[in-house]
Structure 1
């Protein structure tokens, strides 16, 4: 059996793992819910849940990957006690990775299209209604949706085909460093806009009255679920990177670094969006429409807006592509672990497979617009996102936590030995064993149940 390929550098591991975690949710969802639930007051609660929820689950997932030296397709087969059925988890976990890509590639395609359109001056001279109509035209066009989805699938699979070091690591490192650089430039530009101070105050000044306005349970759930979903934990998307790193560093420290990078991007996105929205009198609380309708209006009003808008959508492309490349790497690794097929053949099969699987979402807002599975106004994307975000991620995280802390699984001692192997970095604290074993599963179940209530309980 050929030796498992490794990352060339720790920086590569951190940037690619963070790239998998850093996605479009960091950029529009985090600022939007932060504003809705009281700015800095919400951010403080969010940080708490990253610490007590996100980092332990991420450490567990990395430990399973590094100990097994396999993707989620085979990791539990290697580590589970004989005769147990933990390996069945591979099926929903692998399904989660495919489902995520089935809608994420279409959204990534929108980013590429908007970058091209903004750079070409396609929004110049449009008023607010015109910008809104442009987005509706984008959604309504099968050609745009399919064309740009195909571009995303083929270009990202081509990068994965070049190998872990020569393709995934080399390209993602450049993209992630460019993403971070672009964000700093855009944040500085936004902060110094005339009238932007009000947006900064809204974003960074705690407003605890919002907690009372929405109710503590709702705010806690919003903070928990954002902390939880932002790291892409629960379906083995992160475990794969554990299998590509050496045993020189303890895993808790690596999980903390990934979380800090992910959170820095989310915080900087707020620094870009809130001052700009307030400077131009635009409502920042528009959810997904913020990126495609609100911000093009802001850039239109801004001096040099065509350039700043193009840079913003370029950074959005990098955020989306880093996730797609990371998850595609995982998909290919599944079949490398499960079969003896050469990588190039697995990639070729997956290009065709993904183009077919991604079609329903690409057609979801046009040809299949009448299909509204979660109620009026919902579409294929909402259904696929619901299965991944509200089911596979929380339940998968629950399985990782129990597998790593209970005797009937891999067990606490094995997990601790793997997590704390290495000469550098933060040790996983043995003192929180009871918390990990009993309380953390209850928190994850709370997120799972509240996710259903938030969608179906309001009807």
Structure 2
């Protein structure tokens, strides 16, 4: 039996998990929602939900993965084996695995855009358009069907080369470089923006508390969605990273660090983007790709030293995106290894071939592709993982696994909160996503 890979250090694992959580949601969605839903009025429920989901979902998926030393398919199978239904459990385990692969394929398209813009900041192409219509046209051309084949393939190749080196020598070493650099670059941008005229209005906008927004259920719903998807609980990536952990690791402490730094990353992005918009009097009501590839480049072009700022910004965004892409591809790659016996490099090549072909075909519909996955598959995968861990395996098993590696037992409230609050929240996110067309 092949020896299972593992992370080489505690901080290597934590940085990899932070990398999986820090992604486009932190950069192109969080600042917009802070702006739209009352600044501090959004931050208050957001922080509450980050604590709740970090305390429950992140810990449980890490612990479940470590306990079973496997990906979602075998983890779900092991859980159901205790009830004599291993095959049924394995069948359900395919949902988060295929969800991770599909999400990774969609993310590959986005990473192709980001890589093209990152290189374009050095050549000057990104800031070349004369007006907002020019920026919109450039993005529209790139985001059309088969409009960005080269850069999309290049982004996937970079990701797979890192993954071929494995967990300790690939994922861990890459994140040990990428995540510190990401934070440093965004801190540089924060300092720069702070000295721009009018930035103080942006800070007031971020930290104001609008009582009407705070009492509006919609604010709480979208704060829940933002926290849920930002922390990457979906029964796949966090679970598979947990499977590479040694028994000496204190999982609750690691989960707390991941939630903390993910929140810091989101706040760093908001403290750049919202004050920057305020310096021009622009209203931040545009989220998603349009913010990142149209409105922000147009804004950056007008700022002093715009080209340098663009280079720093898109380099940081590329690092955040690549770390998330590696996490998404890891679950299907590990599954190929576990189910076929193929080596690491061969498994990467199989998944890369699927990724290249399908990502090419969905370039023109990637937004709808990602919406379906975030609405249906991610919360369903998280909910199923929670059911397997808490309802099927039970309290004694859960408490043993969560307390492994800890000097003191974790709080006894963990099990009932997860079983009776967190799991229903997963399905609430699913229902609300369907009803509102997505909340993540």
Question: What TM-score do you get using the length of structure 2 for normalisation?
Answer: 0.94
Name the residue aligned to 1:237: 237
Map 1:102-181 onto structure 2 (within 5 A): 102-122=105-125, 123-124=127-128, 126-140=130-144, 142-143=146-147, 145-181=148-184
Distance 2:418 2:2 in 1: 36
- CA displacement, residues 156-211 of structure 1 (integer Å, 9 cap, x when unaligned): 11111112222221122111111011011111111221110000110122222333
Distance 1:427 1:110 in 2: 46
Equivalent residue pairs, number: 434
CA contact (8 A) 1:72 1:94 kept: yes
Distance 1:35 1:427 in 2: 40
SS at match of 1:197: helix
Map 1:209-358 onto structure 2 (within 5 A): 209-212=212-215, 216-288=216-288, 289-358=290-359
Distance 1:431 1:116 in 2: 49
Distance 1:418 1:333 in 2: 22
Name the residue aligned to 1:402: 387
Gaps of 5+ in 2: none
Distance 2:166 2:134 in 1: 44
SS at match of 2:281: coil
Name the residue aligned to 2:420: 438
CA contact (8 A) 2:375 2:434 kept: yes
Distance 1:348 1:317 in 2: 22
SS at match of 1:8: coil
- CA displacement, residues 279-312 of structure 1 (integer Å, 9 cap, x when unaligned): 1222222112111111112211111100101110
Gaps of 5+ in 1: 365-379
Which has the larger helix fraction?
2
Higher mean C-alpha displacement, 247-256 vs 125-134: 125-134
C-alpha deviation, 1:432, in angstroms: 4.5
Name the residue aligned to 1:374: none
SS at match of 2:156: helix
Asked if 1:197 corresponds to 2:179, the answer is: no
CA contact (8 A) 1:250 1:422 kept: yes
Distance 2:129 2:434 in 1: 43
Q: 1:244 to 1:88 in 2, by over 3 A?
A: same
- CA displacement, residues 32-87 of structure 1 (integer Å, 9 cap, x when unaligned): 01110000121111111112234301111111100011111312223431412322
Q: 1:293 to 1:178 in 2, by over 3 A?
A: same
Asked if 1:99 corresponds to 2:102, the answer is: yes
- CA displacement, residues 78-113 of structure 1 (integer Å, 9 cap, x when unaligned): 343141232222211111011101210111111111
Distance 2:196 2:212 in 1: 28
Name the residue aligned to 1:36: 36
Q: 1:175 to 1:39 in 2, by over 3 A?
A: same
CA contact (8 A) 1:69 1:244 kept: yes
SS at match of 1:429: coil
Name the residue aligned to 2:402: 419
SS at match of 1:74: helix
Distance 1:333 1:456 in 2: 29
CA contact (8 A) 1:101 1:358 kept: no
Distance 1:359 1:124 in 2: 27
Distance 1:27 1:184 in 2: 14
Distance 1:330 1:65 in 2: 11
Distance 1:413 1:308 in 2: 53
Distance 2:375 2:55 in 1: 19
C-alpha deviation, 1:10, in angstroms: 0.9
The one of 378, 382, 385 equivalent to 2:370 is 385
- CA displacement, residues 396-429 of structure 1 (integer Å, 9 cap, x when unaligned): 22222222222xx1112111111111135x8542
When the two chains are superposed, the root-mean-square deviation of aligned CA atoms in Å is: 1.8
Distance 2:219 2:129 in 1: 40
